[in-house]
Structure 1
Amino acid sequence: MATEKGMSGLDITALTAELQEKLPLWIGKVFQYDSTTFGFRLNGEDKARYFFFAEIGRRAHLAPQLPPSPKNPSGYSMYLRKYLIGGKVLSITQKSIERVIIFEIGKSGGTFHLVLEFFDEGNIILADSGFLIQNALKKRRFRERDIVAGEVYDVMGLNRTALSIGAFEESLRSENRDLVRAAAVNLMFGGVLAEELCLRAGMEKEFPTRYLDEDQVQRLYAAYQGIIEDARSRSDPIIDQRGCWPFELIGSDPFSRYPTFSEALSSYYPLPSFDTKEEAKQQVLSREERIRRQQEGAIKKFQAKIQESERAAELIYERYTDVQQAIQVLDAASQKMSWQEIADLLKRSDHPAAAMIVSVNPADATVVLDLGMKVTIAIKKSVEENVAVYYEQKKKFRSKLEGAIRAMNRPAPKQKEKAVVKKRQKPKWYHRFRWFETSDGTLVIGGRDADQNEELVKKYMEGNDTFVHADVHGGSAVIVKGKTDRMDEVAQFAASYSNLWKSGYGSGDVYSARPDQVSKTPESGEYVAKGAFVIRGERTYYRNVTLGIAIGLATDPDLAVIGGPASAVEKRARYTVRLSPGTFEPNDIAKKVVRILRDRVSSADAKSAAGVLSTEAVAAFVPAGGSDLIDAK
C-alpha cells in the first residue's frame, strides 16, 4: 500500500509490471531536481514518450509530465547521462519483494544496471553488468553491505513473490508468531496486506502459525498467489482512506478509481513544485522578510539539535554497558587490523556489540551505533567523554539559539533611501537637427546649416507639415510635423535660430507656407543658393516675434537636456535658464548655463544629471551669435 510515508514492496511489484508492458524503451533524458527527486524521459516505440518520476526513499511512477528541467544540471545527473542516454532498457525487475527497482540498460559500451532504492533514505546506484558498483548518489558503509564503488551490489536472496508452497509454509512457520505477524514480517507484506491474506484465506489473524494444518496452508498459499497476481495485473487501482492501492482490498471504500496504477500514484503523490526562474522573480522577498525567515529556520534547527544532542547523551547512559563494550572491542581490534578488515569482520560477526553497529568511519575513528536513534561514538574516548561531546554540542547550540532569538527580537535598522538613477533619453533620428516639442506635443525640427536645411525639405517634409522660416536671409528651415495650436512657439523658434539673433535684434518677422509652395526651382534668370528655397503663393506672416529661448534639464519621463521657446521648455523641464540675444559667445554661454543648472539640481537628481548635463549637450541648443542670461528657475 502506498501511503504518505512511501510505497510498499508490493506496490513496487505492481509498478514494475506496469513498466515492463512499455518495453522496449530507451533512455532519453535524466534530470535531478534536488537531493532525492529524479526525472527520466523514456522513449518508446512509434515515437511514444513516457515520463518516469522517482523520489528515492518514497515513491516512483509514470507521470503526465516532469517538472521544469533545472537550469544547472547536478553532477550526478550529468554522470548518469554520460553512461545511460541513448541506452536501450533491456529489462525492468524488482529485487524479491523489496522496495528496489532495477533497470537493465544496454549501450555500445556494455550493459549497466540502474538500481533505485525506495527504503530508508533511498539511493540511486549505477552498477555494471555483473552488479559491480560504479557510482552511487549516496555512498555508505553498513554492517550488512557497502554502497561504494568497487563493491558488488547484492541482488541474491529468496524471491518472496514466487515462493513454492514448501517455501511459503517454511516462511510462515519459521518463528513462533501469530499468523498476521508472520505474514507481515516473513512474507514482507506489511500489516494491511497481511490482514488481507487472512481475510482471503478465511483465517483468524491471531492464529498461531505452529498449529497450521495442510488445508489451512493450502488456503493461505492460494490467497498469497492471488494477492501477488492482483498486484501484477493491477486490476483496479484505487485510492481509499488508507492510501493508494494497485487493486481493491476486502472492505475498501474507494474515493476514486484509476485506469492505471501510475495514474493513481500521480494523483496520490502530486509532483512537487520547483520554482522556475520566472516564479522565483515573482516571489522575491524583501531583505527584512528574508532575514526573518532565515532566523526562524535557524531557531527551529537549533532547537532540534539541542533535543537531538540531549537524547543522544541520555541513550548513551541508558545503554552504558553496551556502548562501553563496543568501544573496548573496536579499540582493541583497531590495534591489530585495518578498518576495512574490521568492517568485513562485523558483517560476519554475531557478537552483540556488532549488532548495534550501523556503520564505521575510519577517517575519524568513529562508529554509528543504533541505540534507538543513530548515535556517533568515538572509540578513542570513554563513555563519559562521548557523553561530554554531546553535552558540549547541546551547550553550543543553546548559545546559538539564544543569539538567534535576540537577533530576531532586535528592531530592524532603518534603511537609507537609495537615490533613484533615472534613465537617459534614448537618441532619436531628429536629435542631430535643432528641435523641440510644442506645448501641445507637436514635433518641430530645424536645420543647423545649409546642408541640413536641404536635407529636411527634401527628405522629411511631408504633405501635412508646415514650412516656417524667419523673414531674413540666413536661418533654419523649420518643419512643423503635424498640426499645432502653438504657432507662436514655432515662430519664436524660427526667429531665434536665424541671423536675427546673430545680428542682435530683439524681435523679427516670420512666415509659414504649405509644403507644395516650397521649391528649389528658380525663376528664369535667377539662382537659388544651397539651403535656400523659392516660396510661391501666399504666405502667412507672424510680425514682431520676440527672440528668446530656454535651455533646461528634463527629468520625466527620461533625463535629457532640451531647448526651445521658454513656454514649451519650461513645461517639460524641471530646471531651466532663459537666453536672449547678447554678448557672450555660444561656448562661453553654454558653460555658464551648465554651472547654473548644476547648482539648481536637487541632491536626488544630482547623480542622474551628472552624466547628461554637459557643455556639449547645452551648446547644441544655443543660437549662433552672442547671448545673455535672462533668469533661471
Structure 2
Amino acid sequence: MATDKGMSGLDLAALTAEVQSLLPLWVGKIYQYDNTSFGFRFNGEDKARHLFFIEIGRRAHRVPALPPAPKNPSGYSMYLRKYLDGGKILSVTQKSIERVIIFEIGKGGGTLNLIIELFDEGNLIVTDEDFVIQNALKKRRFREREIVSGEMYEIEGVNLADLTREAFEEILRSQERDLVRAIAVGLMFGGVMAEELCLRAGVEKAFPTQYLNDEILSRLYDAYRNIILDARSGSNPIIDTTGCWPFPLIGSDKPVSYPTFSDALAAYYPLPKMEEKEEAKKVVLSREERIRRQQEGAILKFEERIRDSERAAELIYEHYPDIQQLIDILKSASEKISWQEIARVIKSSDHQAAKMIVSVNPADASVVVDLGMKVTISVQKSVEGNVGVYYDQMKKFRSKREGAIRAMNRPPPKQREKAAIPKRQKPKWYHRFRWFETSDGVLVIGGRDADQNEELVKKYMEGGDTFVHADVHGGSVVIVKGKTERMDEVAQFAASYSNFWKGGYGSGDVYAAAPGQVSKTPESGEFVARGAFVIRGERTYYRNAPLAIAVGVVTEPGVAVIGGPVAAIEKKAKHMVRIAPGTFEPNDIAKKVVRMLRDHLPATDAKVLRSILSTEAVAAFIPAGGSDIIEES
C-alpha cells in the first residue's frame, strides 16, 4: 500500500497498532530537519528507545536511526519541545481510516494531542484535550475547515475502519458505480487494496453496486473485516515489486518479509541524507554556472505554469454549464449581500455549486473551485473571459520561457578589465551646512536650522560676502563667499530652502544685503529670535525666483552626492534628478532619488557607491516639506 507517493490509510492502521503496542512511551528529543521532516525519540520502559521519523504528506514510522541533529533548532521544533518534551504518550489512534495519526500526550496535569496529517501537503498540529487547535506547522484556511489557533479540529465522523454490516452496505450502495471504485472511494481503500478486497470476496471488480445482494455483501463485508484485522495485526509485512504492504497481497510478486511494518517502511523509504545536503551547500559555483542553473530552473517553472494554465482553461470549458451556473448564482448574490456573508453561506451550504468552491476571495470577487485542480473563477467575467485569463497567462509564460531560452543560448560576455575603484570625495568644513558651487565656481553656504544660521553669520560671514534670505519668515541664511555672476542660482537656492517650499509655492522673492547691514540688535521694544537677524538699509531683491533643486552624483575629483540649484548641478553631474514642491515626505523622495540615480550610474564599485549614494546623503539636500520629482536626466 505504501508507494513512492506516500502511505495509505490502511498503512497507518497497521503503523498505529504497532506503536500502540509499545506503550507506555515518553516524548524525548524532537528535531525539525526541513519544512517537511521531523524526528522524535520516544523513551520506553527498561531504557528502550524508539526513533520515529515523519515526512508530512508522505510517511511516518519508526527508523533504526535519525539523521544528524540540525545545528540550529527551528521555531516550531522549539515549540514542540516546550509543550511535549517529557510528556507521556497515553494513546496512539487513527482518525477513521484517514491518513491522520493522533498521539494523545499527558504532561503537567493536562493533555495535548499531536496530530500528524499525511494527506495533501501534510501538517503537524497541536491541539488541547478538546481538540481546539493551539498551533500548527502550516496555518491554512479552507472552505471545509480552518487550521489556525482557536479553531476546532474536526475529529468526529464515520469510522470507516470499524463499520457495521448495515453501514458497510449503505456506503457501497450509495456510490452508484462499479464495485472496485465504490470500495476505493467510499471506504477510502485506494485502487490496489480495493482490488484485493474483491479478490478475497471472489467478486468481479466491475460488478455494478446496484445489483449487490445479501450473499455478495456478506462475502465483501467478511473480506473487509479480514483486511482491517490483517493490517492491525502486522502479520508478515512485505515489500514486493509494487510497493510496501502491511501483509502479503494475493498474487504479490517477489515479496520480501520484514519483522515489523516499520522495518519494511524504513527499508522502502530510506532517510534523506541531510549531510549530503549540507555538503551541497558548500559547493562554490562560478557566476556563469549559477546563472545557467537559474535559467534552467526558470524554464522548467515556466513550462509548468504553461501546462497548468492550459489545463485550467480546458477544465473550465469541460465544466462550462457548472461554471456558468456558479457565476450566475454568485453574481446575483453579490448584488444583495456582502462577500463575507456569501463565504459563510457557502461554507454551510449543500448546494452542488457550493461544493465545488474551495475558497472565496472577497477582495477581487473571485472563488477558487476544485475541477480536478484548483482554478480561480472571477465572478465579474464570463466563462470565456475566465478562460481568456488563463490563455493570457499561457502567452505570458511562453514569452518568458522563450526569453530564458534565448538568454541561455547567448554567448557569455567577454570579461572586462576591472575598472579603477573611484575614491570618495574628501569632506570639507562646509559639508555639514547646505552648500553648492555656482556655475562660475563660487561657494554658497546655507544654514540647516536656527543654530547654523547663527553660526554662519557670526563665524563665517566676511566683508566680501553677500547675505541672502528668502522674503518669508523661516528659511536658510545663505552666505555667498565671493562675487558671482549667477545670483539667479543663489536666489533659487535661498527660495527653495525656505518656508516657500513648505507652503507649496512655485516661486518666491529673495533679497540680498551686505554683511554690514546684518545685525542681531533689535529696535527698541522688539525681539530678535535665535537664527533671525535685523537687516538695515537697502536690500537688493530678486523677484519670483523659481523653486526647484537638483540632486546628482559627481565622480571627479571624487565620488560624492551634490545638490542645489538646477543649473549649477546640471553643469557638474552627469546624471541628476530634479525636484519641486509637492506631496511626498523628504525621506520618501530621498529613497526615490537614490533608486533613480543608481539605475543610471555605472557599477564602478558597488561598495563605494552603496556607502556614498545613500538615502541619508540625498536627504541632506531635500528641502523640508512635501516634494515631487519633476524629471530625471
TM (normalized to structure 1)?
0.61
Alignment of 1:126-145 (within 5 A): 126-145=126-145
Counterpart AA for 1:140: R
- In 2, distance between residues paired with 1:55 and 1:13? 17
Moved over 6 A (4+): none
- In 2, distance between residues paired with 1:253 and 1:371? 36
Find the counterpart in structure 2 of residue 236 from structure 1.
Answer: 236
Find the counterpart in structure 2 of residue 153 from structure 1.
Answer: 153
Deviation at 1:406, TM superposition (A): 2.4
Is contact 1:141–1:360 with CA below 8 Å preserved after alignment?
no
Alignment of 1:66-145 (within 5 A): 66-108=66-108, 110-145=110-145
Deviation at 1:91, TM superposition (A): 1.0
Is the counterpart of residue 398 in structure 1 residue 398 in structure 2? yes
User: 1:539-592 deviations in whole A, cap 9, x for unaligned?
Assistant: xxxxxxxxxxxxxxxxxxxxxxxxxxxxxxxxxxxxxxxxxxxxxxxxxxxxxx
- In 2, distance between residues paired with 1:375 and 1:278? 37
Matched-pair identity in %: 72
C-alpha distance 273-362 of structure 1, shift in aligned 2 (>3 A):
farther
Find the counterpart in structure 2 of residue 171 from structure 1.
Answer: 171
Max Rg structure: 1
Counterpart AA for 1:137: L
Deviation at 1:237, TM superposition (A): 0.6
Is contact 2:25–2:43 with CA below 8 Å preserved after alignment?
yes
Find the counterpart in structure 1 of residue 361 from structure 2.
Answer: 361
Deviation at 1:380, TM superposition (A): 4.1
User: 1:37-84 deviations in whole A, cap 9, x for unaligned?
Assistant: 222222222222222111222211111122223333333333333322
Alignment of 1:609-620 (within 5 A): none
Is contact 1:89–1:105 with CA below 8 Å preserved after alignment?
yes
C-alpha distance 63-414 of structure 1, shift in aligned 2 (>3 A):
farther
Report SS of the residue matched to 1:254: coil
- In 2, distance between residues paired with 1:340 and 1:81? 38
Report SS of the residue matched to 2:171: helix
Deviation at 1:399, TM superposition (A): 3.2
| Stretches of structure 1 lacking an aligned partner (at least 5 in a row) | 419-633
Report SS of the residue matched to 1:174: helix
- In 2, distance between residues paired with 1:99 and 1:214? 31
User: 1:193-226 deviations in whole A, cap 9, x for unaligned?
Assistant: 2222222233333344444444443333222221
Stretch moving more, 397-406 or 152-161:
397-406
Is contact 1:42–1:50 with CA below 8 Å preserved after alignment?
yes
Is the counterpart of residue 224 in structure 1 residue 199 in structure 2? no
Report SS of the residue matched to 1:54: strand
Report SS of the residue matched to 1:104: strand
Find the counterpart in structure 1 of residue 423 from structure 2.
Answer: none
Alignment of 1:430-469 (within 5 A): none
Deviation at 1:339, TM superposition (A): 4.5
C-alpha distance 209-388 of structure 1, shift in aligned 2 (>3 A):
closer
Is contact 1:50–1:62 with CA below 8 Å preserved after alignment?
yes
C-alpha distance 28-361 of structure 1, shift in aligned 2 (>3 A):
farther
Find the counterpart in structure 1 of residue 620 from structure 2.
Answer: none
Find the counterpart in structure 2 of residue 575 from structure 1.
Answer: none
Deviation at 1:114, TM superposition (A): 1.5
User: 1:434-491 deviations in whole A, cap 9, x for unaligned?
Assistant: xxxxxxxxxxxxxxxxxxxxxxxxxxxxxxxxxxxxxxxxxxxxxxxxxxxxxxxxxx
Is the counterpart of residue 246 in structure 1 residue 235 in structure 2? no
Find the counterpart in structure 1 of residue 306 from structure 2.
Answer: 306
- In 2, distance between residues paired with 1:219 and 1:359? 42
Counterpart AA for 1:96: S
Is contact 1:133–1:147 with CA below 8 Å preserved after alignment?
yes
Counterpart AA for 2:240: D
Deviation at 1:35, TM superposition (A): 2.6
Is contact 2:96–2:157 with CA below 8 Å preserved after alignment?
yes
User: 1:161-220 deviations in whole A, cap 9, x for unaligned?
Assistant: 122222223333334444333322222222222222222233333344444444443333
Alignment of 1:508-587 (within 5 A): none
C-alpha distance 236-288 of structure 1, shift in aligned 2 (>3 A):
same
Is contact 2:125–2:133 with CA below 8 Å preserved after alignment?
yes
Counterpart AA for 1:101: I
C-alpha distance 278-191 of structure 1, shift in aligned 2 (>3 A):
closer
Stretch moving more, 143-152 or 232-241:
143-152
Find the counterpart in structure 2 of residue 198 from structure 1.
Answer: 198
- In 1, distance between residues paired with 2:325 and 2:215? 49
Counterpart AA for 2:15: L
Matched length = 418
- In 2, distance between residues paired with 1:318 and 1:249? 38
Is contact 2:178–2:209 with CA below 8 Å preserved after alignment?
yes
Find the counterpart in structure 1 of residue 272 from structure 2.
Answer: 272
- In 2, distance between residues paired with 1:366 and 1:354? 13
Counterpart AA for 2:190: G
C-alpha distance 25-299 of structure 1, shift in aligned 2 (>3 A):
same
Stretch moving more, 150-159 or 171-180:
171-180
C-alpha RMSD of the superposition:
2.6
Is contact 2:248–2:255 with CA below 8 Å preserved after alignment?
no
Alignment of 1:475-494 (within 5 A): none
Deviation at 1:156, TM superposition (A): 1.0
Find the counterpart in structure 1 of residue 333 from structure 2.
Answer: 333
- In 2, distance between residues paired with 1:148 and 1:90? 25
- In 2, distance between residues paired with 1:278 and 1:355? 45
Find the counterpart in structure 2 of residue 560 from structure 1.
Answer: none
- In 1, distance between residues paired with 2:387 and 2:210? 45
- In 2, distance between residues paired with 1:194 and 1:306? 35
C-alpha distance 362-47 of structure 1, shift in aligned 2 (>3 A):
farther
Find the counterpart in structure 2 of residue 408 from structure 1.
Answer: 408
